[in-house]
Amino acid sequence: MRNKRKALGQHMLVDPAVVSETMRAARIGGNETVCEGGTGRGIVTAELCKRAKHVISYEVDAKLYHSARERLLYPNLDLVNADLFRTSDLHFDAFVSNLPYSRSRDAFEWLATQKFKRAIVMVQREFAEKLAAKPGTKKYRAISALANYCFRIEELFGVDRKSFDPPPMVDSVVLRVLPARTIPKETVASLNLVFSKRNRKASTVAANSGIADLHYGNSRIDELTVSKLFKLVELNTKNVIHAS
């Protein structure tokens, strides 16, 4: 089972010091509802339950879920055995997550569609660098544009590999994520579609989508400013919805 979890990127946080630092960063209030992505062994869940009014913790792995149900006997905790990122209509103040790294992109795409006050998320350092990447740079991706458009992100602290079981082969960081704007899931899908043509001229992509030239010049999709890119994405979304 351990090898299977490792293959899925499921490195369980076991360091109490990291949990304590995460709780300080999260600043959970006694009247707040917290959504947790990935219950895991429940080391973070337990601390959230001691601080929040209500905790909703999602765990997609059935074995981890049932184990958590036996151990985490808190009256303010709702444990859910489901994929959080297929869930809508949740109401929460804060989001806290130590997810498998393979789900990091899913987490940020989902958060972009949610209303919340703040999020504390642990990710692979390389992924954090993609979130911070600027247009025209090597690491710039659709998720970079999404992060810049929808969030204000601050790197809080690094996490040693020995803080996990099993230890990952990559470095980790904890981020504070503050919402700047919320977008519908259709816009997220349209962004990924437009950015799949990242090396093509933006004017050509726009013309092929029936969109008038928005003064793109010779810029490629991955060279557009975030505001220009999302103008194209939003127009493309409207066209897709109208066509359907």
The per-residue pLDDT for 89 is: 87
Residue 101's nearest CA partner among 18, 192, 171, 162 is 171
111/138 same-domain check: yes
115/8 same-domain check: yes
The mean pLDDT of 71-76, rounded to a whole number, is 98
- For the chain, the average pLDDT equals 92
Among the ranges given (1-5, 76-80, 118-122, 211-215), the one the predictor scored with the smallest mean pLDDT: 1-5
Determine the Cα–Cα distance for residues 203 and 228; give it in Å rounded to an integer. 11
Contacts of residue 228, Cβ cutoff 8 Å, sequence gap at least 6: 202, 214, 216
Q: Which residues of 23-61 are buried (b: 16+ CB within 10 A; e: fewer)?
A: bebbebeeebbbbbbbbbbbbbbbbbbebbebbbbbbbb
Note if the pTM is more than 0.95.
Answer: no
The per-residue pLDDT for 135 is: 97
197/238 same-domain check: yes
The per-residue pLDDT for 43 is: 96
How are strands ordered across the β-sheet holding 54-58?
Answer: 77-80, 54-58, 33-37, 94-97, 118-124, 172-179, 151-159
Instruction: State which residues form the domain around 34.
Output: 2-182
The per-residue pLDDT for 240 is: 55
175/190 same-domain check: no
Total domain count, the chain:
2
The mean pLDDT of 136-146, rounded to a whole number, is 97
Determine the Cα–Cα distance for residues 100 and 124; give it in Å rounded to an integer. 9
- Amino acid making up residue 27: R
How many Cβ atoms from other residues are within 10 Å of residue 154's Cβ?
A: 11
Residue 5 pLDDT grade (very low, low, confident, very high; cuts 50, 70, 90): very low
| β-bridge partners, 220 | 201
209/139 same-domain check: no
Residue 212 has pLDDT above 80, yes or no: no
Residue 40 pLDDT grade (very low, low, confident, very high; cuts 50, 70, 90): very high
Residue 6 pLDDT grade (very low, low, confident, very high; cuts 50, 70, 90): very low
Q: Which of 134, 163, 182 is the last residue of a domain?
A: 182
Residue 7 has pLDDT above 70, yes or no: no
The per-residue pLDDT for 2 is: 45
The per-residue pLDDT for 113 is: 97
The mean pLDDT of 161-189, rounded to a whole number, is 95
Residue 27 has pLDDT above 50, yes or no: yes
75/131 same-domain check: yes
Report pLDDT digits (tens) over 190-207: 999 999 999 999 999 999
